[in-house]
A and B are shown apart, each in its own frame.
Chain A
Amino acid sequence: MWDLLIVTPLTNLLLWIYSLSGNNFGLAIILFTILIRLVTWPLTAQQLKGAQALQELQKDKEWQAIQKKYAKDREKLAQEQMRLYKERGINPFGSCLPTLIQFPILIGLYQSLVRALATTPYGLLQLGRSLYPFLNAASLIPLNSRFLWMDLGRPESLPIHIGSFSFGLPTLAIIVAVTTYLQSKLTMPPSPSNPQDASAAQAAMMNQMMNIYMPLLLGYFALTFPSGLSVYFIVSNLLGIVQYAMLGKVNWRTLLPGKSQKK
């Protein structure tokens, strides 16, 4: 079912874009990423709206009052928070749902990339079966996996020669880590400075952890998985920043030293 509903359609979409982009798989991945970003635009907007509503709620006097009043009774605190969410019409999961929906897309995309590149006989057999009749599969296969200096079916490293010393620099992994960090940093909502709000302090700490671990995690993926996935990560990160900027939500000050989270 997963294959039928997610992987096969994504594979065909990818190959359709590939056929329209002059059999350039790198360009196809970039266009595919833009398309995915456009389709999930309403979800991202909803995510922003939900995050902003939560952020504003934390500045609310009543919210701060219940934090103080029930600081030692977490169960009661949770009940009161839920009441406030309900009263103000806020869905506490509103900012998480879009991320949840994008999660299967990411997994499906990875599987589609691997399937489309078909680097094994079994993979090629599977690819042949996955393709819809409107694609002229026989003429498309094998895909041209070369893009710039990369083979998109393999992890990337740029050969560097300094005199007699040579090594492979994992350029894409570095760019993935940097763009992921930038996106997290620029789009993370500022945490309130209320020292009484233990949950907000905890959230701020978690945000900081995410700022560190997510770039490392995606950088590791870029280091070990086909570089086509890295191209997706980079384009997706950059588009994410652009999208947030267009919505006026990018907090450029967070890039400055000492301006990390507080407004």
Chain B
Amino acid sequence: MPVFPKPKILLLLAFLLVLSLTACASPRSATWAGVYATEEVAYLSNGAHLFAIDLKSGTERWRYPEKATAALQFYAPPLLTSDGQLIIGSAGSDNALLSLDAQSGQERWASPFRGAKDHWIASPMEHQGVIYAPNADGHLYLLDLNGNLLSEKEMDKHLWATPVADEHYIYLAGLDHHLYAFDPQTRQVVWKADLKGSIPSRPSLANGLILSGSFASRLYAFEIPGGQARWEAQTTGWIWGSPLVLGENVYVGDLAAQIYAFRLNDGQLLWQKSVNGPVVAGPVAFGENIIFLSESGDLYAFDAQGNLRWQRKLGGALYTPPAVTSQVLLVVPMQAQEALIALDAQGNILWTFTPK
């Protein structure tokens, strides 16, 4: 029985408070992952490392950095530039944008670009020799291929989505609910459209349209380059991933575990199916199949008419879009032992990669 318990208990509480707050301290503690692939190598962003993985054997070629640090955390896959650089931003503590040699994994720039005020969630994009890098601080940074800042443009708020480009403009989506058309010549926003909800993934371009879903549970189509609204279609839940345009159709999934096919020209619903969990990643085309992933760890292959060709339970949580080569589908499960799973067109696992 303590004689005068209060101060001791307060000290104990303070100690517990330190433990509790530091245990759940970092708002960035829950990581994200991404993959990009050529026909020979997969580049996997996974926590504190970027891995280069041989596509034939599934073995590690190199990793960057050798030793993990809190300063570097990679959420998005790298951009492979026309001159063989991998450009990748860090969501770690130093907000660095780095250039690595795609062959060796050695740093290419004299020093990383550290001009951004927040972390890098999106992959950058290269267009006509310029790197367009959107940052969570709400700025689009333009750099040359040597890492020199050319200019920066401030949007309303956080930018988490990779831009896309056509011969006219750079198109950029923001969590601030807007889809922007940015003129690379004047470096000004030409038009912007309010999509009534956040847009965390890149828009898709096809047949004179730009398409994007948003947290307003709608899929929008705008004409390009002018930005006139063509159609919008209602979904059940928030749309997180990028829509996939294939032929005359556009495919998308939502967080209410629904997947949809709409007619590209007018947005008419063609078919809708339920899957086992929320669909965060956008679908991809792999051979004749349209591949959907759900958070439940399920992988689905549909044909264009909405017939299920095969389904495979991979485990973990599938949040980020897979990479596709002519032979291999690369899936990044999170909260799973494997960091990368390679499958063939029939959904058979070819190999798995687990970092050592």
B is a partner of A: yes
CB within 8 Å of B: which residues of A?
Answer: 51, 54, 74, 77-78, 81-82, 92-93, 95-96, 99-100, 103, 106-107, 110-111, 114, 117, 119-126, 128, 137-139, 141-142, 144, 153-154, 199-200, 202-203, 206-207, 209-210, 213-214, 217, 221, 224-226
Q: List 16 A-B contacts (CB under 8 A).
A: A74-B3, A96-B6, A106-B17, A119-B119, A120-B30, A120-B121, A121-B160, A123-B27, A125-B319, A128-B215, A138-B196, A139-B197, A142-B157, A153-B27, A203-B7, A210-B7
Give every chain A residue within 8 A of B297 (Cβ-Cβ): none
Q: Taking A128-B215, A128-B238, A142-B176 as contacts, is the C-beta distance between A119 and B4 under 8 angstroms?
A: no
User: Smallest distance from the beta carbon of B306 to chain A beta carbons, Å?
Assistant: 26
In the complex, the answer to whether B16 meets A138 with C-beta atoms within 8 Å is no
In the complex, the answer to whether B6 meets A141 with C-beta atoms within 8 Å is no
14 additional contacts (CB under 8 A) given A99-B10, A107-B21, A121-B32: A107-B17, A110-B24, A121-B319, A122-B31, A124-B198, A124-B200, A128-B238, A138-B197, A138-B198, A139-B196, A141-B198, A144-B157, A203-B4, A213-B14
| Residue from the list A54, A141, A202 in contact with B175, Cβ < 8 A | A141
Q: Is B149 an interface residue (CB 8 A)?
A: no
In the complex, the answer to whether A121 meets B215 with C-beta atoms within 8 Å is no
Q: Taking A138-B197, A142-B158, A142-B175 as contacts, is the C-beta distance between A202 and B30 under 8 angstroms?
A: no
Give every chain A residue within 8 A of B20 (Cβ-Cβ): 107
Smallest CB gap from A74: residue in B: B3
In the complex, the answer to whether A81 meets B3 with C-beta atoms within 8 Å is yes
Counted as pairs of residues, one from A and one from B, with CB atoms less than 8 Å apart, the total is 124
Give every chain A residue within 8 A of B27 (Cβ-Cβ): 114, 117, 119-120, 123, 153, 226
Bound-state CA distance A138–B176 (Å) is: 10
Give every chain A residue within 8 A of B216 (Cβ-Cβ): 138
Q: Is B133 an interface residue (CB 8 A)?
A: no
Bound-state CA distance A95–B24 (Å) is: 28
In the complex, the answer to whether B6 meets A128 with C-beta atoms within 8 Å is no
User: Smallest distance from the beta carbon of A132 to chain B beta carbons, Å?
Assistant: 15
With an 8 Å Cβ cutoff, the count of chain B residues facing the other chain is 48
Smallest CB gap from B34: residue in A: A121
Q: Is B114 an interface residue (CB 8 A)?
A: no
| Residue from the list A114, A137, A206, A224 in contact with B7, Cβ < 8 A | A206
CB within 8 Å of A: which residues of B?
Answer: 1, 3-11, 13-14, 16-18, 20-21, 24-25, 27-28, 30-32, 75, 91, 118-119, 121, 136, 157-158, 160, 175-176, 196-198, 200, 214-217, 238, 240, 255, 280, 319
Bound-state CA distance A117–B157 (Å) is: 13
| Residue from the list A103, A138, A153, A217 in contact with B217, Cβ < 8 A | A138
Across the A-B interface, give the 4 residue pairs with the lowest CB-CB distance, nearest first. Answer: A206-B7, A122-B30, A199-B3, A138-B197
In the complex, the answer to whether A103 meets B10 with C-beta atoms within 8 Å is no
Give every chain B residue within 8 A of A202 (Cβ-Cβ): 3-4
Bound-state CA distance A77–B4 (Å) is: 12
Smallest CB gap from B238: residue in A: A128
In the complex, the answer to whether B91 meets A120 with C-beta atoms within 8 Å is yes
In the complex, the answer to whether A96 meets B198 with C-beta atoms within 8 Å is no
Q: Taking A120-B28, A138-B196, A142-B158 as contacts, is the C-beta distance between A210 and B11 under 8 angstroms?
A: yes
In the complex, the answer to whether A203 meets B21 with C-beta atoms within 8 Å is no
In the complex, the answer to whether B75 meets A121 with C-beta atoms within 8 Å is yes
Smallest CB gap from B3: residue in A: A199
Give every chain B residue within 8 A of A82 (Cβ-Cβ): 1
Give every chain B residue within 8 A of A121 (Cβ-Cβ): 32, 75, 121, 160, 200, 319
